[in-house]
C-alpha cells in the first residue's frame, strides 16, 4: 500500500520502511517550538519531571509573540521565565522583543523549517510549515517538554484528504479565500486528525505566502497538518534561507485517501467567515454592507509583506472611514522594515491606520485591539470563535487583506471592487 507525503515523512523520522494510518510511532524531531504563553508551562513540566538537559540547543525555538511587547505584569513574568530558560540552556533560536515576530511567519523567514522535516510546536497553527513540504503540527505544552528533553515524540499516523487544486485564481483571490472556501465546504471537523494534502496544477498558481496561509488554517478544519508538494517556488524560497540538507517526499501513486476534494481556483469568489465559526462562510457579494467597528490586518495568517502590499494598494490615496479603527500589524521585524522601505508604512498612516510592532496582539484577544460588547471586526486572523477577540458578545469576521482594507475604507463589509 502506498503512502502519502505526511506518512513518508513520519516513516523516515521513525526509521521505519513504511507506516499506515492509525499506527502509533515514535519519531525524531527536527524542531521544537514554543511561545511566551506555552513555553512557561512546558518549562514547569520539564522541571517537575526531573529533566535537566535539552536534547539540542539548535533544534529548539522560543518566540515571544503573543502578549508582547508585554501588556501587563503577568505577561512580563511569562516572558521572563522563557527568557531565563533560554539563557540557561543556551538556546540558539530565542527571539525576544526587537528580534522577534509572530512565530509562524518568523520561523520560515529565518530558515528554521525545510522540506521533509518533522516539526512540533506548542501552538495549534504550527501546521503553517506544511507550505514548505514539512510535517508540522501543534502539540500541548507537555509534549513540548518531552520534545525539548528527548528530541522525540509519539504520533498517531494520520489518514489523509487529497485537495486537488485546478484553474487560475482571479485578481482578488488569495490563499485566504481558498482555505475559507475549503473549510466552508468540509466543516471545522471535516478533516479531524487527518492530513490535508494539497495537489494538482492549481498549486503552481499559488505563491508561497498563499500556501503559508492555507497550511496555517488547516487546523481550522480539524486537520493534524496541511502539506504542499515541493516545487520551484518552494526551492526558490528556501534557497535564500536554509543552509542544511533537506529532503523532498512525494506521495505514492497508490497512496490511500479517505476522500478527494477538488477546488477550481478560477471559480472562487472573495470569501469571508461570519461569526462564530470559520466554516460559516459567505461570498462577499452575499454580505457586503454589514456594519463594522474595527479592521485588523496582520497575524500569522496574513501579516506577511504580500498581504500588507495588497492592503496598502487599496488604502493608498484613501482614508479609513469615520468611526472605523484600522490596525495594521506586520508579522516580523523584516516585514516592518520592508514596509518602511516601500513606503507602505506612510500609506497606512496617511490613511488613518494604526501601524503596530510585530505581535499576535488582538488575534487572541490579547492586546492592541480587543473588542467591547456589541462590536464587530473584520480581521485577517484565523479564528472567530465566541470571545476570540474580546467580549463574548463581540463578533469577528475572517477575511483576506483585500476585503479587510476595502472594508476599512467603506466603513462596512466591502469588496475591493466597491472602491
pLDDT at 263: 97
Residue 343: band (very low, low, confident or very high) from pLDDT cuts 50, 70, 90: very high
pLDDT of 143 above 90: yes
Assess whether pLDDT exceeds 90 at residue 3: yes
* 40 Rama sector, left if φ>0, alpha if ψ -120 to 50, beta otherwise: alpha
**pLDDT, position 1:** 76
Rounded CA-CA distance 39/141 in Å is 7
Average pLDDT over residues 64-92: 95
* Cα–Cα distance measured from residue 195 to residue 161, given in angstroms and rounded to the nearest whole number: 6
pLDDT at residue 363, rounded to an integer: 87
Tell me the pLDDT band of 294, cut-offs 50, 70 and 90.
very high
280 pLDDT higher than 90: yes
How many Å separate Cα 120 from the centre of its chain? 14
pLDDT band at 410 (very low <50, low <70, confident <90, very high): very high
The answer, yes or no, to whether residue 178 has pLDDT greater than 90, is: yes
pLDDT at 419: 86
C-alpha 165/C-alpha 163 separation (Å) is 6
- Which structural domains are found in the chain, ordered by start? 5-264 (3.30.499.10), 271-414 (3.30.499.10)
The residue-averaged pLDDT of 175-201 equals: 96
The percent of residues in the chain predicted with pLDDT above 90, rounded, is 96
The pTM for the full model equals 0.95
What DSSP letter does each residue of 306-318 carry, written as one string?
HHHHHHHHHHTT-
Q: What are phi and psi of 212, to 5 degrees?
A: -60, -45
**pLDDT band for position 409 (50/70/90)?**
very high
Q: Three cell numbers at 24?
A: 502509533
Stretch 77-88: mean pLDDT: 96
Per-residue pLDDT tens digits for 193-213: 999 999 999 999 999 999 999
Going from the C-alpha of 115 to that of each of 103, 106, 121, 125, 162, the distances in angstroms are: 18, 16, 17, 18, 19
Give the mean pLDDT of 323-345. Answer: 97
Q: What is the pLDDT of residue 240?
A: 87
**Dihedral sign from CA coordinates of 93, 230, 264, 159:** negative
* Beta strands 294-297; 325-328: pairing state: parallel
Count CB neighbours of 74 within 10 A: 10
pLDDT of residue 167: 96
Amino acid at each position: 500500500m502506498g503512502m502519502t507525503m505526511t506518512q513518508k515523512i513520519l516513516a523516515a523520522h521513525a526509521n521505519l520502511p513504511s507506516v499506515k494510518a492509525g499506527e502509533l510511532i515514535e519519531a525524531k524531531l527536527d524542531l521544537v517550538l514554543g511561545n511566551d504563553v506555552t513555553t512557561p508551562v512546558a518549562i514547569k513540566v520539564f522541571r517537575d519531571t526531573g529533566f535537566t538537559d535539552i536534547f539540542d540547543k539548535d533544534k529548539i525555538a522560543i518566540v515571544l509573540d503573543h502578549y508582547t511587547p508585554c501588556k501587563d505584569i503577568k505577561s512580563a513574568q511569562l516572558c521572563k521565565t522563557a527568557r531565563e530558560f533560554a539563557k540557561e540552556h543556551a538556546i540558539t533560536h530565542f527571539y525576544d522583543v526587537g528580534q522577534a515576530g509572530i512565530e509562524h511567519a518568523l520561523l520560515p523567514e529565518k530558515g528554521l523549517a525545510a522540506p521533509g522535516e518533522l516539526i512540533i510546536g506548542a501552538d495549534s497553527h504550527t501546521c503553517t510549515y506544511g507550505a514548505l513540504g514539512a510535517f508540522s503540527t501543534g502539540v500541548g505544552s507537555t509534549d513540548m517538554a518531552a520534545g525539548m528533553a528527548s528530541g522525540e515524540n509519539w504520533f498517531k499516523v494520520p489518514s489523509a484528504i487529497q485537495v486537488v487544486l485546478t484553474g487560475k485564481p482571479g485578481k482578488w483571490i488569495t490563499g485566504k479565500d481558498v482555505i475559507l472556501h475549503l473549510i466552508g465546504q468540509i466543516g471545522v471537523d471535516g478533516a479531524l486528525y487527518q492530513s490535508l494534502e494539497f495537489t494538482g496544477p492549481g498549486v503552481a498558481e499559488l505563491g508561497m505566502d498563499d500556501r503559508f496561509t492555507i497550511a496555517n488554517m488547516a487546523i481550522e478544519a480539524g486537520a493534524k497538518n496541511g502539506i504542499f508538494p515541493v516545487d520551484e517556488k518552494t526551492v526558490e524560497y528556501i534557497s535564500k534561507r536554509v543552509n542544511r540538507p533537506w529532503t523532498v517526499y512525494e506521495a505514492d501513486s497508490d497512496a490511500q485517501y479517505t476522500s478527494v476534494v477538488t477546488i477550481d481556483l478560477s471559480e472562487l469568489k472573495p470569501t469571508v467567515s461570519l461569526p462564530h465559526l470559520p466554516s460559516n462562510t459567505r461570498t462577499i457579494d452575499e454580505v457586503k454592507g454589514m456594519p463594522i467597528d474595527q479592521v485588523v490586518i496582520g497575524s500569522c495568517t496574513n501579516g506577511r509583506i504580500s498581504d500588507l502590499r495588497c492592503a496598502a494598494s487599496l488604502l493608498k490615496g484613501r482614508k479609513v472611514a469615520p468611526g472605523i479603527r484600522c490596525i495594521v500589524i506586520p508579522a516580523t521585524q523584516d516585514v516592518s522594515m520592508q514596509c518602511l522601505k516601500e513606503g507602505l508604512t506612510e500609506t497606512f498612516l496617511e490613511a488613518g491606520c494604526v501601524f503596530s510592532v510585530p505581535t499576535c496582539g488582538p488575534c487572541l484577544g490579547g492586546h492592541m485591539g480587543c473588542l467591547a460588547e456589541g462590536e464587530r471586526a473584520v480581521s485577517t486572523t484565523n479564528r472567530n470563535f465566541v470571545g476570540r477577540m474580546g467580549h463574548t458578545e463581540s463578533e469577528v469576521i475572517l477575511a483576506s487583506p483585500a476585503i479587510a482594507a476595502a472594508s476599512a475604507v467603506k466603513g462596512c463589509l466591502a469588496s475591493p471592487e466597491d472602491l
